[in-house]
């Protein structure tokens, strides 16, 4: 009856732990230096400004110390990583053209089916390069652009150059500098003024090779009055050595536009997931981050919204689940830099089998951002005595005329709750599942049905064997 910790996340249970044989067009040597960066740039046939940008970023990366204020990153050996792996010669717009083994992987992940059923467009990245990107014609006709970022740099160089690195500069942090030096793939989304893309666009990121580093770069631009919902999913095989995923996501939400960015991250538990995600929201614009973190060894990710004009709104909803050997350190940052801006942060973390999950966040209200409102709520659920939850909420409020609320709870699944459900005939493991599902319900109900079902299924998978 009492909560036990028989099973963590083991290879048998992680459904996406399979890997394909490596058949690559190009695989860089391990390690990172100027030569590797120049090679990536030249293979991509990039304009000179991007090559210079990469080299500048590399310098910054090399000088900058590792962040030590968060999770333990001391075991990452940057010299033991492959920084560039090119899986195929070209990117396709039809799944039939995608090489068989890679296509099979994405079939197993259900991507083509999802695209047919409920997406406006889908992208798939395998190792360093996007292998597939397609936008349904109706959206293309309205001027929506949905490409991998390398193609965007070739096909829309002016737009990319105007915005690239403006939200997350290379100097922002060490991992952002790393991404800026070796970035490859990622999504580029451009939504023209007034266009509402009312069904989601989705990109799927897959690491296959051992010791792989994946550094996609995503840039989303929402012109005034537009709307888009972008969804990303990620998985990787189980290896005994670690992989590194370090993305940068930049989003520009212009006047009256709304962007929703949903992540369901299910990396294998040997993946370091160190991601910089940031949006700028202009007048009356709304940015929403919905962040589900289930996999990875360590995740450090603090989606941010800079509200730089009056009436901007930010919403950050996150769920983190840490099992054995996992440290989930997610959170969010909201920067109120204009009057009458509003933010809501809701964080739900679950720790089990010795896992560590929590919330790290910042609410910053600048002087002059009068009439702004911020509400932060973080709830932690700890499933056994070995697990741990940490909450690090920071508030910097330099304006008097504001409304701020902060609530935090830490709870354990009580035997009383389990007993209550079981007294109605519900088996112990299902009772535990129900309690955990209920705990994350405020986030799950924000997701489109297909993703809500998927998130609940993933949580149920993580919960297997939770109750003895």
* Least distance to another protein, CB of residue 406, Å: 19
Q: Which is nearer to another protein, 182 or 455 (CB)?
A: 455
Q: Is 284 left (phi over 0), alpha (psi -120 to 50) or beta?
A: left
Q: Which is nearer to another protein, 268 or 389 (CB)?
A: 389
Q: Which is nearer to another protein, 6 or 394 (CB)?
A: 6
* Least distance to another protein, CB of residue 439, Å: 6
Q: Which is nearer to another protein, 67 or 438 (CB)?
A: 438
* Least distance to another protein, CB of residue 330, Å: 19
Q: Which is nearer to another protein, 21 or 425 (CB)?
A: 425
Candidates 348, 87, 349, 45; CA nearest to 205 is 87
Q: Is 185 left (phi over 0), alpha (psi -120 to 50) or beta?
A: left
* Least distance to another protein, CB of residue 453, Å: 14
* Least distance to another protein, CB of residue 167, Å: 34
Please identify which residue in the block is written with the tokens 């090559």.
51
Candidates 175, 185, 167, 272; CA nearest to 232 is 185
Q: Which is nearer to another protein, 244 or 317 (CB)?
A: 317
Residues in the site for another protein, rule: CB under 8 A? Answer: 1-2, 414-417, 419-428, 430-431, 434-435, 437-442
Structure tokens, 375: 């509400």
The full 3-state SS of 63-115, as one line of letters, equals HCCCCCCCCCCCCCCHHHCECCEECCCCCECCHHHCCHHHHHHHHHCCHHHHH
| Positions of E strands within 352-442 | 356-365, 372-382, 388-397, 402-412
Cα dihedral sign, 422-424-425-426: negative
Cα–Cα distance measured from residue 283 to residue 311, given in angstroms and rounded to the nearest whole number: 6
Q: Which is nearer to another protein, 41 or 349 (CB)?
A: 349
Are 302 and 316 contacting, i.e. CB atoms less than 8 angstroms apart? no
């Amino acid at each position: 009856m009492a909560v036990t910790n028989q099973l963590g996340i083991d290879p048998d249970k992680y459904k996406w732990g399979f890997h394909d044989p490596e058949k690559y067009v190009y695989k860089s040597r391990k390690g990172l230096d100027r030569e590797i960066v120049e090679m990536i740039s030249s293979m991509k046939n990039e304009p000179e400004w991007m090559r210079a940008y990469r080299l500048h970023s590399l310098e910054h990366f090399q000088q900058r110390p590792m962040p030590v204020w968060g999770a333990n990153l001391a075991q990452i050996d940057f010299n033991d990583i492959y920084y560039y792996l090119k899986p195929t010669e070209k990117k396709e717009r039809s799944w039939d053209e995608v090489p068989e083994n890679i296509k099979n992987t994405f079939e197993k992940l259900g991507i083509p089916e999802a695209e047919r059923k409920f997406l406006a467009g889908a992208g798939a990245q395998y190792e360093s390069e996007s292998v597939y990107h397609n936008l349904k014609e109706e959206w293309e006709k309205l001027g929506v652009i949905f490409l991998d970022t390398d193609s965007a740099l070739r096909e829309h160089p002016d737009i990319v150059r105007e915005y690239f690195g403006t939200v997350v500069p290379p100097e922002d942090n060490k991992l952002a500098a790393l991404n800026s030096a070796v970035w490859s793939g990622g999504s580029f989304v451009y939504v023209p003024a007034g266009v509402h893309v009312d069904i989601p666009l989705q990109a799927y990121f897959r690491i296959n090779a051992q010791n792989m580093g994946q550094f996609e770069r995503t840039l989303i631009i929402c012109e005034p009055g537009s709307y888009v919902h972008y969804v990303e999913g990620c998985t990787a095989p189980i290896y005994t050595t670690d992989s590194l995923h370090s993305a940068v996501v930049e989003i520009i939400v212009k006047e009256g536009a709304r962007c929703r960015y949903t992540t369901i991250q299910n990396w294998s538990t040997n993946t370091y997931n160190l991601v910089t995600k940031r949006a700028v929201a202009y007048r009356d614009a709304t940015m929403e981050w919905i962040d589900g973190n289930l996999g990875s060894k360590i995740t450090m990710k603090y989606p941010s919204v800079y509200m730089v004009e009056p009436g901007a709104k930010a919403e950050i909803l996150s769920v983190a689940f840490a099992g054995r050997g996992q440290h989930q350190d997610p959170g969010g940052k909201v920067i109120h830099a204009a009057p009458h801006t509003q933010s809501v942060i809701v964080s739900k973390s679950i720790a089990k089998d010795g896992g560590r999950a929590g919330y790290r966040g910042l609410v910053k209200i600048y002087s002059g951002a009068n009439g702004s409102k911020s509400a932060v709520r973080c709830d932690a659920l700890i499933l056994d005595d070995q697990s741990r939850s940490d909450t690090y909420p920071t508030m910097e409020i330099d304006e008097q005329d504001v409304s701020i609320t902060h609530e935090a709870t830490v709870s354990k699944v009580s035997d009383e709750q389990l007993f209550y459900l079981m007294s109605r005939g519900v088996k112990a493991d299902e009772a535990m599942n129900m309690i955990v599902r209920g705990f994350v319900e405020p986030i799950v109900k924000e997701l489109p049905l297909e993703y809500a079902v998927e998130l609940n299924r993933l949580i149920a998978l993580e919960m297997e064997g939770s109750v003895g």
